Amino acid sequence: MDFGTATLWWVLGGVLVAAEMLTGTFYLLMVALGAAAAALAAHGGLALSGQLVAAAVVGGGATALWHYRRARAPRSAPAASNRDVNLDIGQTVRVDAWAEGGKSRVQYRGAAWSAQFIGAGQPAPGEHVIVAVNGSVLDVAPAGSR
């Protein structure tokens, strides 16, 4: 059985896609696109040097474009304060009294939680909004400030 150059490029592309599925790095898909471009160049009759140039230009270009796109994408908030990660963010709690250093105990979801004031000014009793969750400590700010 005689494998042509194009077949080897297609196999390399398949191996790269499989490796991407195992590792989860999207950049390997971009390199696999380069291998597909080289396979198409081989089908078109280009010499090995032309195939390598096609693989490098397409694979490298796709990788550079993907890197540029990811670098320009907005960064998500840290997990402690990201509403997409923690659904407690944005919920309200009632603080009856504050202790020294802006600490308090509040009832939330049927349990007593530690709360820490992170708003501006002096902490005052009343409704507060959860802005972050750090372990078992709720970071809260006054309800009207967010």
List, in order, residues 6 or more apart from 90 with CB less than 8 Å away.
Answer: 83, 129, 130
pLDDT at position 29 is: 94
pLDDT in tens, 93-140: 999 999 988 899 999 999 999 999 997 888 899 999 999 998 889 999
Topology at the third CATH level for domain 79-145: OB fold (Dihydrolipoamide Acetyltransferase, E2P) (2.40.50)
What are the strands of the beta sheet with 92-95, ordered from one edge? 92-95, 126-134, 137-142, 111-117, 103-108
How would you classify the pairing of strands 111-117 and 137-142?
parallel
- pLDDT band with cut points at 50, 70 and 90 for residue 1: very low
pLDDT in tens, 92-104: 999 999 998 889 9
**Rounded CA gap, 145 and 124, in Å?**
13
How much is the average pLDDT of 14-33?
A: 94
C-alpha neighbours within 13 Å on the C-beta side of residue 41: 20
pLDDT at position 100 is: 86
How much is the average pLDDT of 1-27?
A: 90
> How much of the chain exceeds pLDDT 70, in percent?
97
**Rounded CA gap, 122 and 28, in Å?**
52
Name the residue with higher pLDDT: 84 or 142: 142
How much is the average pLDDT of 40-68?
A: 95
The domain ranges of the chain are: 5-72, 79-145
